[in-house]
Structure 1
Amino acid sequence: MPPAVIAVGASIAGSAAAAAVGGGVIGAIVGATVTVGVSYLGNRIVGPPKAPAVDLGQSMLDARSGRTQMLVQPVTSHRVVYGEVRVGGPLVFAHTRTEGGGSKLDMLHLVVVHAAHEVESLGAVWFGDTAIMLDGGGAATAAPWAGKVQVWSHAGLPDQGADAVLVAEGGGRWTHNHRLRGRAYTHLRLRYDPEAFAGGIPNLSRLVRGRKLWDPRDGATRWSANAALCILDYLMAPWGLAAGPDEIDLAGWIAQANICDEPVATLTGAEPRYTCNGVLDLAGRPLDNLESLLTSCAGRLSFTGGKWRLAVGAWQPPTVILGENELRAPVTYRPWRSRRDLVNTVRGAFTSPAHNWQPTDYPPVADAPSIATDDGEAALTLDLPFTTSHTMAQRIARIALRQNRRQKSLDWPANLAGLRLAAGYPVAVSLGRLGLAGTPFRVETWRLTEEMGVDLALAEDAAEVYAHDPSWLKAM
């Protein structure tokens, strides 16, 4: 083993591995020699030194505010609904007709597709931001829509038949062949009334309980908002990354799904640790979609040894200790993060059921001692498009803030002992001359080198990053 000469500095040599982590390119995988990591933070506030953080929140807000809109355009992309959320969708059919043989076209039929797959259920109906009360048959019961609005729901079953009412009243334009199998949609019939529809055709959206998920814990397929299962579904779906079961670390995934289901104290009771409730647009890049899904669980996803592995935002004690015996060359140690990369406040938006399922700011999470140390606020915008609980949003934001304030990082040129690690793995580092004695770190990047070593980038970690105390939560 070469002498363990310790280099202390603030610079890091560039590498393909560094470029492939937390917002890197999935195509950077070369065989199984590079671990690719995808983080819920992208490359904004963790990892190797970089350019100042960019506020990416506005684009996410723009996308989400369009989620509840009824789209009128000739071509649009498919949408996937995870968990439960309010969703609009593309208008795929419109037909006007007379009523009772009259000459006035006063009946309008609309078909709006909410999801490109079977869903658990289609629930409450909104016109704009107004909830419409319906009876058991789908007829509106309250003024001014009573007698003017009728709704039929189709969950997108693989064998669903055509909407019988639309076949009968569609003037031959909607036939028994128009089944929309595998598409969850609403058939909306409106009777013209100047008071009910003073603003024109209403914008229709529904509360959708979305995709049914395969659960490796029992092999069943059922509706779930478990964040780990939603991410697994996207990885394995043909319109996602089309990974096979042999490409998934199923044992590890089961453990992460169990963590997501753990009850966590809130201001008034308890909630699951992590749920995933939102809409994916399949026109988006797979990497962007993965980062969005990972925001729901403060998660990290890695691909190594031919398998995808997930680590959600929860403390995982290190089981591997790195010391001088695991070095093949000097390490580079950075005890502090660059001032421009430090944050002391995290704010952003989540989807609020209490505000008609619209993007709403969650209470900002701030660290007062750090604000004083930094001589003012340094804020990060962290929008959470798949989170519908403001207490869950605050917990995720707090993890991001605490991760940023753990500033130590190492470039660790490991010998072949590094082969047992992967991006996202927890390790303990013991190097006496640096004052590190079993200090927890997390593997940010992993790369097999030409000289048969493994280059690791390590970021400081701690149990306190993930510790939760409901007393610091703020009400909305």
Structure 2
Amino acid sequence: MPQAIAYGISVLAGTAGSITVGMLVAAYAITLVGTLALSSYQKRKAERAARAQFDAAQVDRLANVPATVAPRELVLGRVRKGGHVFFRTSVGQYKELFIMCMAVAAHEIDAIENVYFNDQPVDLNANGQVTTAPYGQSATLDGTDVLSGATSTLSHTPNTGSVKVTREFPGGIGVTEVTGFTVDGNVVTITEEFLAGRIYRAFYQYPGFNSFARIRFHYGAPGQQADPELVAMLPGVWTNDHRASGVAYIVCHFAYNDTAFPSGIPNVTVLMRGAKIADPRDGVTRWTENPALMMRHVMLHPQFGKRTSLTAAEDARIIAAANACDTPIDYGAGAVAMYRAASVIPFGSA
């Protein structure tokens, strides 16, 4: 009997030892699997956070952020975006003209194709004046020209029947109305005696428009000159040293008008062609929507990339990818490149 009990105890001890080892192995396996799962979860969480941050940046890019100190942005491809408002002021006797400078990229860009006020595209004339209603409105304007001789050309074509001509001595004394004249288009001819030593003036009305908004572009070339109008309008505030070198920005003028701006200053965005990118296929630096060339630009960018140069083999692979991206494809409205891209990347982003 005692022998049987001893044998049973030894069997149980051996079994317990095996169970202990098995439990240790199982515990280690569970710990390893848990660690790997946690690591995978943390990685997915970081990726989701990065995607969410990127997606938020794409939504927020249509907003204008007032900030004198703000992250700079790399803009690639064709993008519609707002920017950072780094300067604001009002001028005029009653502060009726509001001026705003908004940075849209931290580098030279290729072009600005369109301007939007509150998501509405607006048209600009050669002087940058907005001609789209309600920011530009048709109006009857007054004109005054000094006539150079018996036959003179007015600065504008007058409305029918609106021309009045006066004659005066120098100094504005002895002003009389001239009744003998004809108007053909914008040419005025005095039909009565044209008296030497007199000043003849034509007063008239002509069709035009009043613009309450004006936009000027600066494309961010290195060493670009300071905005000459701001230098003239803001002496001592905006000087020739305020060049914003290497920063693409727009200057917005808004004249006070209840009809044009019933809800205040509009949100301004631009449709722009971003950075000019070097193409290793021909050595030319130009604007492009080619994703492969964009990645090469990012790799070599001092704020993003880890490289200062690429090997011939690396460039060969990029060239092959760029050629594949440029493969033409026609969706029914003309051939376009098969792969195109655009992005806005804050400096310092991974």
Question: Normalising to structure 1: TM-score of the pair?
Answer: 0.47
- The superposition leaves residues 128-166 of structure 1 with CA deviations (integer Å, 9 ceiling, x where unpaired) of 211111112211112221221111100001121000011
Structure 1 counterpart of 2:99, one-letter code: H
Question: Relative to structure 1, is the Cα distance of residues 55 and 72 closer, same or farther in structure 2, using a 3 angstrom cutoff?
Answer: closer
For 1:140, what is the secondary structure of its paired residue?
coil
Instruction: Please say if 1:124 is aligned against 2:111.
Output: no
| 1:11-22 mapped onto 2 (5 Å cutoff) | none
Q: How far 1:61 moved relative to its partner?
A: 3.4
Mapped partners of 1:201, 1:281: distance in 2? 26
Inter-partner Cα distance in structure 2 for 1:54 and 1:242 = 24
1:260-292 C-alpha deviation (Å, 9 max, x unpaired) = 1011342544321211112111242x2xxxxxx
Assess, with a 3 A threshold, how the Cα gap between structure 1 residues 164 and 196 changes in structure 2: closer, same or farther. same
1:241 counterpart = 2:305:
yes
1:372-391 equivalence runs, <5 A: none
1:178 Cα shift?
0.3
What aligned pairs does 1:186-197 form with structure 2 within 5 A after superposition? Answer: 186-197=250-261
2:337 corresponds to: 272
1:122: how far off?
1.7
Q: Which residue of 2 aligns with 1:181?
A: 245
Q: Higher strand share goes to which structure?
A: 2
Instruction: Classify 1:175/1:214 alpha carbon distance in 2 versus 1 (closer, same or farther; 3 Å).
Output: same
SS in 2 for 1:274: coil
CA contact (8 A) 2:71 2:346 kept: yes
Note if contact 2:68-2:87 (Cα within 8 Å) is conserved in structure 1: no
- AA partner of residue 127 (structure 1): F
1:85-164 to 2 correspondences below 5 Å? 85-98=79-92, 102=93, 104-146=94-136, 147-164=211-228
| Preserved contact between residue 274 and residue 287 of structure 2 (Cα < 8 Å) | yes
Using the size of structure 2 for normalisation, the TM-score is 0.63
Structure 1 residue 95, shift from structure 2 partner: 1.3
Residues in 2 aligned to 1:254 and 1:204: alpha-carbon distance in whole angstroms:
38
Instruction: Indicate whether 1:80 and 2:144 are aligned.
Output: no
Cα deviation digits, residues 67-99 of structure 1 (max 9, x gap): 12111134310111111111211001111111x
Q: Is the 8 A contact 1:118 1:184 kept in 2?
A: yes
Query: Which residue number in structure 2 is paired with residue 223 of structure 1?
Result: 287
1:260 maps to 325
Q: Residue 225 of structure 1: SS of its match in structure 2? A: coil
Q: Does 1:203 align with 2:267?
A: yes
Q: 1:235 to 1:67 in 2, by over 3 A?
A: same
Is 243-252 or 198-207 further displaced after alignment?
243-252
Asked whether 1:65 is paired with 2:59, we answer yes
| Cα distance in 1 between the residues matched to 2:49 and 2:227 | 45
Distance 1:178 1:54 in 2: 41
| Cα pair distance change 1:20/1:272, threshold 3 Å | farther
Deviation at 1:201, TM superposition (A): 1.9
CA distance in 2, matches of 1:88, 1:113: 8
- Partner AA of 1:236 in structure 2: L
Q: Secondary structure at the match of 2:317?
A: helix
Question: 1-side partners of 2:299 and 2:80: how far apart?
Answer: 24
- Aligned-pair identity in percent equals 31
* DSSP-derived class of the 1:245 partner: coil
> Which of structure 1's runs of 4+ aligned residues deviate more than 3 A?
53-61, 267-270
Distance (Å, rounded) in 2 between the aligned partners of 1:124 and 1:241: 31
Alpha-carbon separation, structure 2, partners of 1:77 and 1:54: 22
C-alpha separation between the residues in 2 aligned to 1:54 and 1:93? 35
Rounded Cα–Cα distance in structure 1 between residues aligned with 2:132 and 2:286: 34
Higher mean C-alpha displacement, 192-201 vs 151-160: 192-201
Do the aligned partners of 2:304 and 2:348 also contact (CA within 8 Å) in 1?
Answer: no
Alignment of 1:19-30 (within 5 A): none
Counterpart residue number, 2:29: none
Kindly tell me the number of residue pairs found equivalent between the two proteins. 238
1:111 alignment partner, SS class: strand
Letter in 2 for 1:258: N
The equivalent of 1:282 in structure 2 is 347
Gaps of 5+ in 2: 1-31, 137-210
Asked whether the 8 Å contact 1:95–1:170 carries over to 2, the reply is no
Secondary structure at the counterpart of residue 175 of structure 1: coil
CA root-mean-square deviation = 2.7
Q: Secondary structure at the match of 1:96?
A: strand
The answer as to whether partners of 1:117 and 1:156 remain within 8 angstroms in 2 is yes
Distance (whole Å) between structure 1 residues aligned to residue 251 and residue 68 of structure 2: 19
Which has the bigger relative contact order, CA under 8 A and spacing at least 6? Answer: 2
> Quick one: structure 1 residues 56 and 159, their matched pair in 2 at CA, closer, same or farther if it must change by over 3 Å?
closer
- In structure 1, stretches of 5+ residues that fail to align are 1-12, 25-42, 44-50, 287-476
Q: Deviations over 1:203-239 (max 9, x none)?
A: 1111111100011111111111111000100110111
